[in-house]
Structure 1
Amino acid sequence: MNINILQLIEGAKVASGITVVIDVFRAFSTACYAVDKGIRRIYPVGDINQAYQLKKEHPDYLLVGERNEQKPEGFDFGNSPDQLINTPFAARTMIHTTSSGTQGIVNATNADEILTGSFVNADSIVRYIRAKNPTTVSLVCMGYACEYPTDEDTLCAEFIKNELEGKNNDFAGMIATIKAGDGARFFDPDKQSWSPENDFHLCTQLNRFNFVLKVEKEGELVYLRPIEV
């Protein structure tokens, strides 16, 4: 099994084999929490105008996401697990657009199949890939707004790679590095309204969920399908 760690949009464009698009803070952690709270289908969308159009066509869909970390005008929720965790969404459909994670899905056009990646379902991702036993695995780290690599996405990729290769992981050390680095913003008092501290803790709960989110096609759209592993 050839495992490649790639970065940003450029990495997504060259990803092949089973591709895991990683966005720990916060898109693909938020997506897992949404599914756990009852969302039955998630449409990941790169273009915010397309997201608004889908909401206009389907007013009953939830519109969730961010630009510059904050909830855009007219959205139901921001890209925050903390905003979703206490709300049940029985059989609802969600439109999800973010600056990083959903952009990776849109650009991973050469992948054989695409999974979303985060710490909260890392073990399920590893078990899914082991069962498939592909020749190539691409771990694509989407970074901050697709502008530069981040600690949390790169370390999540390293965690998955180590697990697949049977190597030990120092998860506590990884979290300490993230908290001191790119995760420090979640502890800034001035940012709590859109980047609450609890998002840091929710996004770093290792293996909380026992499913992967796989990208499936539906006409011109794609959606995330949960698969228990």
Structure 2
Amino acid sequence: MSIIGMDVEIPPGRVVVVIDVIRAFTTAAVAFERGVSEIACAPSLDAARDLRQRLPDHLIMGESRGLRPADFDFGNSPFELSTAPLDGRNLIQATSNGTRGLARCSAPAALLAASARNVTATARWITANRADAPWTLLCTGRTAEDRACADYLADLLGAPHPGRAGVGADAEPSNAELVAGVRAGAAQHADAFARRPASEFVDLADDLAFCCDVDRADFAMVGEVRGDHVVLRPVG
């Protein structure tokens, strides 16, 4: 059982949960809430463009340095997806961290994507389907929100964690602590964006409420590795 970053090798045969709270897998969760049935996750923008040639019925969403590429249908924004005209369409997604993290997992026992929005559903799926398998939680970003989500998920899975209560203890993990971690991460992102030119600034204000909405989604996002990409589907 481990919590790791993007620079650590992932052994095969483990349950791997790839975490990106701000914003890739919050955006994906909102898309599924809106009726999307699958998201093809690409490891790069060019790979996403190639996928669009092969999947012409899919819309494409994502970001480069936080901003929507000009030829993409949507950015990497849960707020935007919450009102987007999806019309029963499926999606392709490419982001700097989240979808790239999925691409690092070539031989998992199971592969899931998570954010605060579906963290308990993720733990429930693992407990029901892979309870005896070792797991790895992959924090795709370096800011506070992904680690806060990983700690919360580890608690739900009952992992020993110094100074924290596991699911088998009397206390449940704290939603408030997770939300505080997401907000701390958002502040770190904002500090980084503030040092950029005005044309490269990313405003997270409208997205933050979606990222902090713990357990709004009642499904896990389960991945299927398909060679050069991973297909996510919601599983309740």
Gaps of 5+ in 2: 159-166
Partner of 2:140: 142
Which residue of 2 is the match for residue 182 of structure 1? 185
In 2, the alpha carbon distance for the partners of 1:135 and 1:59 equals 37
The residue number in structure 1 matching 2:19 is: 22
**Partners of 1:82 and 1:196 within 8 A in 2:** no
- Percent of aligned pairs with the same amino acid: 30
Amino acid at match of 2:224: E
1:91 match: 88
Task: Find the aligned partners of 2:53 and 2:214 in 1 and give their Cα distance.
Answer: 36
CA distance in 2, matches of 1:61, 1:222: 14
**SS at structure 2 position matched to 1:223:** strand
Letter paired with 2:5: Q
| Superposition TM-score, scaled by structure 1 size | 0.86
1:175 maps to amino acid: V
1:103 and 2:103 are equivalent in the alignment: no
* Other-structure match for 2:161: none
User: 1:89 Cα shift?
Assistant: 1.9
Residues 204 and 16 from structure 1, CA distance in 2 versus in 1: closer, same or farther, beyond 3 angstroms? farther
Which segment drifts farther, 128-137 or 73-82?
128-137
Q: 2: CA distance between counterparts of 1:163 and 1:57?
A: 39
Secondary structure of the corresponding residue to residue 215 of structure 1: strand
Q: What's 1:78 paired with?
A: 75
CA, structure 1 residues 15+152, in 2 after alignment: closer, same or farther (shift >3 Å)?
farther
Between the aligned partners of 1:216 and 1:70, the Cα distance in structure 2 is 27
Structure with the higher fraction of residues in strand conformation:
1
Deviation at 1:16, TM superposition (A): 4.4
Q: Provide the secondary structure at the position in 2 that maps to 1:68.
A: coil
Equivalent residue, structure 1, for 2:210: 202
> Equivalent residue for 1:153?
146
- Aligned-partner SS, 1:115: strand
1:19-74 CA deviation, whole Å, 9 max, x = no partner? Answer: 10000111111111111112122100002112112224444321100010110120
Per the alignment, in what secondary structure is the counterpart of residue 77 of structure 1? Answer: coil
Partner of 2:122: 125
Structure 1: gaps (5+ residues): 144-148
The correspondence for 1:53, drawn from 50, 54, 58, is: 50
Deviates more, 1:86-95 or 1:199-208: 86-95
Q: Secondary structure at the match of 2:223?
A: strand
* Shift in Å, 1:131: 1.1
CA distance in 1, matches of 2:178, 2:22: 14
Larger CA deviation: 169-178 vs 134-143: 169-178
Distance 1:51 1:74 in 2: 11
Deviation at 1:172, TM superposition (A): 1.2
Partner of 1:8: 6
Whichever residue aligns with residue 205 of structure 1, its letter is D
1:94-127 CA distance string (max 9 Å, x none): 1100000111111112321100011111111111
Instruction: Work out whether residues 106 and 225 of structure 2, in 8 Å CA contact, stay in contact via their aligned partners in 1.
Output: no
Deviation, 1:220, is 4.9
Give the count of matched residue pairs. 219
Cα offset, 1:130, TM superposition: 1.2
Deviation of 1:156 after TM superposition, in Å, equals 0.4
